[in-house]
Chains A and B, each alone.
Chain A
Amino acid sequence: EVQLVESGGGLVQPGGSLRLSCAASGFTFSSYWMSWVRQAPGKGLEWVANIKQDGSEKYYVDSVKGRFTISRDNAKNSLYLQMNSLRAEDTAVYYCAREYYSSSGRTFDIWGQGTMVTVSS
């Protein structure tokens, strides 16, 4: 079964750090771009960052540039998001998502169940 399982969320104080992990199974992890997408409580979806198959390219939404770092370990079939200098506005459910590229289009075809990050004193 194709699956993504996030972990590492929790309560952290403003200015603190947290590292999220996403364990992939059921597919060849090293063949796919991967992304993090977040959703603040009661709000819509926001793409956060993505990373190429070999880790050579990484992109971020402007609001997290310089604070968040996406990485991957293909040997461990794992995706990571290191979050530093956390702010209250980073409070959200963070989803790991697989990017699917085909002749018909590019999209997020597989999503994890999400992990909650709460930034509060």
Chain B
Amino acid sequence: EILLTQSPGTLSLSPGERASLSCRASQSVSSSDLAWYQQKPGQAPRLLIYGASSRATGIPDRFSGSGSGTDFTLTISRLEPEDFAVYYCQQHGSPITFGPGTKVDIK
């Protein structure tokens, strides 16, 4: 089973700042199997990035994904008020696993 570790656990930033979220895997993950989701309280997760770097339909270009192997990054170039949420990485191997999440909150 591939374990995913996300850091930091919480990121406190102000609107307009840049956010960099890390996802590290216990073993190499195919880039095509790495995705990022956003979840707000009381809502279902929302797909942001798939294939490590492809934005999902309707996702603003301030969201970008990068990385390969065991190290992946989600970057939000300039935080908007609606971006404060929890972010999860996920790998689609067998079994499918999620990281524990990074909470981005308002400083």
Contact = CB atoms under 8 A, between A and B. Distances in A.
Interface of A: 35, 37, 44-47, 50, 59, 61-62, 95, 99-100, 102, 104-109, 111-114
Nearest to B30: A105
A47 B52 contact: no
Interface of B: 31-35, 37, 39, 44-47, 50-52, 54, 56, 88, 90, 92, 94-101
Given A35-B96, A47-B95, A106 B33 contact: yes
B97 A47 contact: yes
Nearest to B34: A105
Given A95-B44, A100-B50, A112-B44, A105 B92 contact: yes
A100 B95 CA distance: 16
Contacts of B100: 44
Contacts, number: 69
A97 to B, nearest CB: 8
A105 B54 contact: yes
A104 B47 contact: no
Contacts of A109: 47, 50, 56
B90 A107 contact: yes
A111 B34 CA distance: 17
Given A111-B44, A114-B44, A106 B92 contact: yes
B101 A44 contact: yes
A105 B90 contact: no
